[in-house]
Structure 1
Amino acid sequence: MRLAVIGDELAAGAGDPKGLGWVGRVAARTHAAPPATVLTLAVPGETSTALSARWDEETARRFSPDTDNRLVVALGRADLGAGLSLARSRLNLANILDVADSRNVRTFVVGPPPGHPEDYERLAELSGAFADVATRRRVPFVDTCTPLATHEQWLADLATGDGVLPGQAGYGMMAWLVLHTGWHAWLGLPDDVA
């Protein structure tokens, strides 16, 4: 099994002193036999428009016709700063999911986590739009925005850094949400997380 994780600096674990991010923590708790190959393809500050333009070519070079190829779409917050409309953001994700489906690549979507408190309402709306696109296509979606927006540990973790990137604890919380929102079922593995 090959898992390509496409996204921004949050997918790469930027700011995590352990260098694992949520992807590394999830990979460590994914017990497939043989082990899955996890490939993180991250571009810092990337919008869903840029992600939509690059993902197919980049994953095609890493996928193989001899493997079970899977795609994890790790969405960030850059659409807000770039001023993309909700309609454009929705369309970008829809295009990714539709092309992946046409290539028989199963997908899993992780929504953007909260950052600056003043952006929360817009980010919650964006996350909801992404969730709707994924749900309409029967693709698993992990909402990281809603459960973390008021979580004391998440807020403390952001406050100790640059206010945007989580640290070790924050990435651990994101990993927990992924692992407990259908990850193992999506992979066809027994749910062995506690």
Structure 2
Amino acid sequence: MIRDLRICFVGDSFVAGVGDPEHLGWTGRLAADSERAGLPLTRYVLGVRRQTSAEVAARWAAECTPRLAGGAWEPRVVLSVGVNDTAHEDGVPRLAPDRSVAALTGMLDRAAAAGWPVLVVGPPPVADDAHTERTAALDDRFAQVCAEHAVPHVPVVGHLAGNPTWMREVAAGDGAHPGAAGYAALADLVRPHWTAWLAGRTPQR
């Protein structure tokens, strides 16, 4: 029997795939991989530009519920937030780290109550080194929250900061978003975790 997977990808502009001329982003590439592997799924992309984790937390359940609840299908959620939290406005982060952690915690708690398995993909780097350092520090806290909730977490900020393709495309663009090759590199990092998550396994790091 073919699984009826329905997956909401929730987050910010990186989830939306902003900057990718192929309009796939990393989420479309992963969904296409699964399709080729004989695992079709319905992909709902719920990424909003400039939103912090608190703003995502305020809307995500209302958007996911009509897409995931009330049927015999298999509902799942992929979350990716954080870059906008650590962006500075007037010299301070747009969202304090404690509020970011609280937002993620609340989303994981609500997903667990709904019976929706979650995969968390960490925030990626941008061209500004100081911004990326703040993002990496926040993602360390996100990883701890995920561990406490037994939710898989995929760290990408360090890997992509050392990836010349990602950093080159980010610098050539708006300073935050890559092009097609950069998103392909992000998809490559997430892929083993994605595959294991769909199969109910824990990948080797």
TM-score where L is the length of structure 2:
0.87
Alignment of 1:100-111 (within 5 A): 100-111=111-122
Could you tell me how far apart the structure 2 residues matched to 1:103 and 1:61 are? 12
Alignment of 1:170 onto 2:185: no
Which amino acid counterpart does residue 111 of structure 2 have in structure 1?
Answer: A
Amino acid at match of 1:171: Y
Contact kept, 8 Å, 2:15 with 2:26, in 1: the verdict is yes
Residue type at the aligned position of 1:43: V
Which of 39, 54, 61 lines up with 2:59 in the alignment?
A: 54
Worse overlay, 93-102 or 72-81: 72-81
Q: Which runs of structure 1 show a deviation greater than 6 angstroms over 4 or more consecutive aligned residues?
A: none
Report the CA distance between 1:76 and its aligned residue. 3.9
Aligned mate of 1:17, from 3, 17, 21: 21
Structure 1 residue ranges without an equivalent (≥5): none
> Is 1:114 aligned to residue 125 of structure 2?
yes
1:19-58 to 2 correspondences below 5 Å: 19-31=23-35, 35-58=40-63
- State the Cα deviation string for residues 62-106 of structure 1 (Å, max 9, x = none): 114221100000214111135322111111001000110011100
2:8 alignment partner in structure 1: 4
Unaligned runs of at least 5 residues, structure 2 = 88-92
Q: TM-score, normalised by structure 1?
A: 0.92
How far apart are 1:154 and its partner, in Å? 1.5
Point out which structure has higher relative CO (alpha carbons under 8 A, 6+ apart): 1
Deviates more, 1:24-33 or 1:126-135: 24-33
User: How big is each residue's C-alpha offset from its partner over 1:148-177, in whole Å with a ceiling of 9 and x where there is no partner?
Assistant: 112222211112211111111110111001
RMSD after superposition? 1.8
1:75 corresponding residue in structure 2: 81
The residue matched to 1:70 in structure 2 has which SS?
Answer: strand
For these two proteins, the number of residue pairs brought into alignment is: 190
Partners of 1:10 and 1:76 within 8 A in 2: no
Q: 1:144: how far off?
A: 1.1
Aligned-partner SS, 1:125: helix
User: Which range is displaced more, 88-97 or 63-72?
Assistant: 63-72
Query: What is the alpha-carbon distance in structure 1 between the residues aligned to residue 195 and residue 181 of structure 2?
Result: 22
Identical columns (%): 39
Structure 1 pair 164–188 and aligned structure 2 pair: CA distance change class (3 A): same
**Does the CA contact (< 8 Å) of 2:6 and 2:76 recur in 1?**
yes
Q: Which whole-Å CA distance do the structure 2 matches of 1:30 and 1:188 have between them?
A: 11
